[in-house]
Structure 1
Amino acid sequence: MSEEVKLSKLEQLKLDSRQLRGTIAEELANDELAFSADASQLLKHHGSYQQDNRDERNKKLPDGTKQGKVYSMMLRTRMPGGKVTAKQFLTELDLCDQYGNGTLRVTTRQAFQLHEIPKKHMKTVVRAINDSELSTISACGDVNRNVIACPAPFKNNSLFDDMQKMADQLADHFRPHSTAYCEIWLEDDEGGKTKIEEFKPVEEPIYGERYLPRKFKMGVALPDDNCIDLHANDLGFLAIVEDEKIVGYNLLAGGGMGTTPSLKGKTFPALAVPLCYATVDETIAVAEAVVKVQRDFGNREDRKIARMKYVIADWGIEKFREKVGEYYGKELTLPLDVFVTDADDHIGWYEQGDGKWFLGVNIENGRIQDEGDLRIKTGLRTILEKYRMDVRLTALQAVLLCNIEEQDKADIEQTLRDHGIKMAEELSLLRRYSIACPALPTCGLAVTESERILPALIDSLEAELERVGLADEKIALHMTGCPNGCARPYHPDIGLVGKAKGKYTLFLGGNVIGTRLAFIYKDMVPLEEIVPLCVPLFEYYAKDRTGAESFGDFCNRKGAEDLEAYAEKAMAS
């Protein structure tokens, strides 16, 4: 990268931050209710976003004045592959009750999020998470974030343990070396204040002095089970299996969902494309070379085009492959002809292969809470306290309860039912394969609703699918409250992206396995018109599909113009 590049404000902030310290420690010690703008940017690298509850903005107070912003912190826990013990899960449940808003959230990247933590309690909460042997470091920010991997805990072969091992190795290898996290959150003076000592820099051999130009995401999956949406990552690792053993990985580069429509084509969603093949022993080193190329050539002037997908779009994959080979030290091996073919949501009962079972429990939109008759938080707490089993989180925001003995299955299932939690056979595939971002009220980027309105929307869509005989079809629906794409809305069968208050862009033609981008079918669709727009398309699909063609495949085959013509004719008749 040219030294003459004018750094963006955030790039300069990182450069001057003393390896991500900034004024975080000093501000933790003051009595202000919020962090400064600069500190809040650096806090992302420590796993936290500063937010305000937009439902509370401008509420009229008893004295007649309007309430200003009510700041709090969102804290994300880093857990490669979504692996968590019962103790760690229970710790997070305790923290959401003691310091948060009473809810715990499973993210679309197999992590936990705590919401609405007051600034004054941040250090206590971060310490408690670390005491449970988890961490929040690099869960956000311009570094490699939580490494996701197929969470299925099968024990009848080594594939799943080996993928988890790779996720752990990647997470460890790309963890920032800066000691700022430990210094700020985990060390104390006698008076309980964070030590603020003379800055002693450490070497950051991968990230350098400015870290990455933008966030970076990695994922590990099998060709026949892309349950983590491998192609949506900056760097995906597609396992190559021979004789029931992983011998290497196809590395897929350049995925990313975020886009800014107002920039008129300057930004775009992208799916990762095959870069190279690496043996298991080569994989970490090749991945490091990829990250270093992004470090050195990613755009540091304009964050909106700073992701690695834009480097690849500008250069082409051949030039990018050549440059990565230079950094690796030798020519890369071309990728093998192995591709994603299927995906599973892992909901329901599965034999683990070691005489025990695991149970996939759907958590709609990932929100673990008690609300009315649906008491997910209490139900899970009851089971975890009694059985102390390990848990895995999925990229579809579900929970896998692992290592269940045969004799305990009935009790666990009944406990879930007693708390209003439905089993796999009671849920439509549409609901099981749906995900949403938090959006309003806490996300600062949200322009409209997502998590809070998707369940009711699915209720209506389920009724229409039932009416036309499609209730058992596997259809993926992803919804976000803005174009940033946290819930990966640009490649499922149906994507809904918030465009303005109460209005969405409707995408069609992707697929469940995440290998094809969807196209825009309608823009600026009011919430109440989404179902009426989908009804004729479901009817068309029911009568004109070929064989086992999925809804996304059908829409892709027909195209927007054909679908629109049919819908207009159907609505006019």
Structure 2
Amino acid sequence: MTVTLSPSDRSRDLSQPLDRLGPDETLKASSDQLRGTISQGLLDRLTGAVAPDDTKLMKFHGIYQQDDRDLRDERRRQKLEPAYQFMARVRLPGGVCTPAQWLKMDELARAYGQETLRLTTRQTFQFHWLLKHNLKATIQGLHEVLLDTVSACGDDARGVMCSVNPHLSALHAEVYALSKQASDHAIPRMRAYHEIWYGQERVASSEPEEPFYGRTYMPRKFKIGFAIPPVNDIDVYAQDLGFIAIADETGLQGFNVAIGGGLGRTDQAPATYPRLADVIGFVKPGDVLAVCDAVMGVQRDYGDRKDRSHARFKYTIDDRGLDWIKGDIERRLGFELGEARAYDFVSNGDAIGWRTGDDGRHHLTLFIENGRIANLPGRALMDGFRDIAEIHDGEFRLTPNQNLTIAQISDEKRPEIERLLEKHGLCGLNRQSALRLNSMACVALPTCGLAMAESERYLPSLLTRIETLLDRHRLTDKPITIRMSGCPNGCSRPYIAEIGLSGRAPGKYNLYLGGGFHGQRLNRMYLENVGEEAILAALDTTLSHYARERLETEPFGDFVIRAGYVKEVKAGKDFNS
């Protein structure tokens, strides 16, 4: 089937009309603005799944259909359909959550999500193990506390990220407010969401449902983030559109604008690669929403709608050239971007432990290994955080590194919170090696359908073995970033870690070395498709060398390049060379 974009589906600035669409673009165009047959599929009790086309459309609703891969072979032998279940991702701009919202998340997770929550690398919650007949109850429960799952997945503007700098409370509040505005501004209108999940009636209108997105939305996902130097915790160079806050003693002056980041790639496909964003100029705070429209508009109009593997904004920029893209952004804005201002990043990790903000209130950032909130032996995270939410009068902030900040704690509440942490065995969460505190893993098996290898379930034990090496080389307290992904898509941002691992097959990984300590440089493959023994041997060699010959303040990623283990990656196109 061939679909032609009508004038209402594209910007009038589109200079080269796209007359043919790939299969996913065709599906979106004919989906009745993402309604498809989702409502009918939710009523079908003969299967735990929905129709294949609806599984794609439901991503725009923040929902992924999955199945329990631990049970897949056994159910196939029994001639049963897969153990279908769903993941729902909450839209939570900047990762800020109220205690009331936390309590609702806890309630829903206990009722429908096997008593666990997942903190993601984009500062939000994921429910796993949701059954089809519980989806409406889950989403309606979120609605009770003004949360939803709109645009948390799909070809649209994903959840907007914002730095968590607890000691810069006033600046963080100002930047967070802008990130929240950007999120509310950039997401689709999604009338279908309100009809399907809240039971609202469809309202006839002569106006287009999606005046910006049209019927085909974005060519691929589009990620936006706000960073506050000196901490690059959101990995701003990995965003399609990044805003780097520029502030002085008088307050926020504006933002440097960075475009074209993205980490997804495909093994054995050299035309796909991760790319870091380029800083193209400076804008005032009042221009943020206009910049979002202009940059997204360029990608909407010129992104590849035939080949999804080539549809991210990074490829649009590399195909057309950065200068051309910047010029078109400025044309849409109606003004030229200012010259980029000076800034400095020093890390992309979290400030673990207690901090006091410039407003005098306290903030406690806790290490949550791989973002998993559950009641574990000796550490009752679900129970502990529920009890804290019941008495907390501040906020919770989910960090971009899968950790949790209990924020805005008053002097009066701090002793109570410390007592609850002790009661539930949570005081030891931060007593970890520097490597573990700078680690991340994606979910991978058993729920992610794309996973080729373990990640969340495996990384902790691998870190224990690497910690033995660190202890031997007296590097236990040296921060080194390490990230693992179960497939090449890079959800845990492994390609900018000093040590990166991406799954190739059960027990097999690519090992990457040489990423920038504060997210400023891609790493490069050092070993391909190897198991644990080869990974540990390689790290033993490089860490030993690092311990002997590193410069005083030299990060591990810088050292492996200087020592010749890998060549520096200077541009995304060079990643596979």
User: Normalising to structure 2: TM-score of the pair?
Assistant: 0.92
Closer/same/farther in 2, CA of residues 462 and 19 from structure 1, 3 Å limit: same
Deviation at 1:196, TM superposition (A): 6.5
Deviation at 1:220, TM superposition (A): 0.3
Distance 2:377 2:205 in 1: 51
Deviation at 1:334, TM superposition (A): 3.7
What is the match of residue 483 of structure 2? Answer: 478
Deviation at 1:327, TM superposition (A): 1.9
What is the match of residue 353 of structure 2? Answer: 348
Distance 1:16 1:200 in 2: 18
What is the match of residue 255 of structure 2? Answer: 249
SS of the equivalent of 1:246 reads strand
What is the match of residue 314 of structure 2? Answer: 309
SS of the equivalent of 2:471 reads helix
Distance 1:143 1:200 in 2: 23
What is the match of residue 516 of structure 1? Answer: 521
Bigger shift: residues 398-407 or 165-174 = 398-407
SS of the equivalent of 1:274 reads strand
1:421 matches 2:426 = yes
Distance 1:391 1:540 in 2: 41
Bigger shift: residues 379-388 or 548-557 = 379-388
Aligned length: 553
Superposed CA deviations along residues 226-262 of structure 1, whole A, max 9, x for unmatched, are 1111111100000111334111111100000100122
Closer/same/farther in 2, CA of residues 200 and 399 from structure 1, 3 Å limit: farther
What is the match of residue 8 of structure 2? Answer: none
Q: 1:365 aligns with which of 370, 375, 380?
A: 370
Deviation at 1:506, TM superposition (A): 0.6
Q: 1:276 aligns with which of 260, 264, 281?
A: 281
Distance 2:168 2:48 in 1: 48
Q: For residue 259 of structure 1, what is the amino acid of its counterpart?
A: R
Q: 2:496 aligns with which of 488, 491, 495?
A: 491
Closer/same/farther in 2, CA of residues 285 and 4 from structure 1, 3 Å limit: closer
What is the match of residue 266 of structure 2? Answer: 260
Deviation at 1:463, TM superposition (A): 1.9
The answer on whether the counterparts of 2:165 and 2:228 sit within 8 Å (CA) in structure 1 is no
Q: For residue 496 of structure 2, what is the amino acid of its counterpart?
A: H
The answer on whether the counterparts of 1:178 and 1:201 sit within 8 Å (CA) in structure 2 is no
What is the match of residue 41 of structure 1? Answer: 56
Closer/same/farther in 2, CA of residues 281 and 558 from structure 1, 3 Å limit: same
What is the match of residue 181 of structure 1? Answer: 193
What is the match of residue 148 of structure 1? Answer: 161
Bigger shift: residues 551-560 or 8-17 = 551-560
Q: For residue 505 of structure 1, what is the amino acid of its counterpart?
A: N
Superposition RMSD on alpha carbons, in Å? 2.0
Q: For residue 73 of structure 1, what is the amino acid of its counterpart?
A: F
The answer on whether the counterparts of 1:83 and 1:151 sit within 8 Å (CA) in structure 2 is no
Give the alignment of 1:83-232 within 5 angstroms. Answer: 83-154=96-167, 158-187=170-199, 195=201, 202-232=208-238
Closer/same/farther in 2, CA of residues 155 and 489 from structure 1, 3 Å limit: closer
What is the match of residue 31 of structure 2? Answer: 17
The answer on whether the counterparts of 1:110 and 1:395 sit within 8 Å (CA) in structure 2 is yes
Closer/same/farther in 2, CA of residues 398 and 16 from structure 1, 3 Å limit: same
What is the match of residue 191 of structure 1? Answer: none
Closer/same/farther in 2, CA of residues 134 and 525 from structure 1, 3 Å limit: same
Distance 1:65 1:284 in 2: 54
Closer/same/farther in 2, CA of residues 334 and 155 from structure 1, 3 Å limit: closer
Q: For residue 244 of structure 2, what is the amino acid of its counterpart?
A: L
Superposed CA deviations along residues 79-99 of structure 1, whole A, max 9, x for unmatched, are 111000111111111111111
Q: 2:550 aligns with which of 545, 554, 557?
A: 545
SS of the equivalent of 2:502 reads strand
The answer on whether the counterparts of 1:392 and 1:400 sit within 8 Å (CA) in structure 2 is yes
Distance 1:532 1:471 in 2: 18
Distance 1:511 1:561 in 2: 13
Superposed CA deviations along residues 527-549 of structure 1, whole A, max 9, x for unmatched, are 34322221111110011001110
Matched-pair identity in %: 40
Superposed CA deviations along residues 401-439 of structure 1, whole A, max 9, x for unmatched, are 122233543443343244332447622221111111000
Distance 1:385 1:533 in 2: 48
Deviation at 1:355, TM superposition (A): 2.8
Superposed CA deviations along residues 294-317 of structure 1, whole A, max 9, x for unmatched, are 000000001111000001111221
Superposed CA deviations along residues 40-86 of structure 1, whole A, max 9, x for unmatched, are 1010111100001100112269xx72543111110000111100011
What is the match of residue 233 of structure 1? Answer: 239
Deviation at 1:344, TM superposition (A): 4.2
Q: For residue 299 of structure 1, what is the amino acid of its counterpart?
A: D
Q: For residue 40 of structure 2, what is the amino acid of its counterpart?
A: E
- Structure 1's unaligned 5+ residue stretches are 189-194, 564-573
The answer on whether the counterparts of 1:159 and 1:244 sit within 8 Å (CA) in structure 2 is no
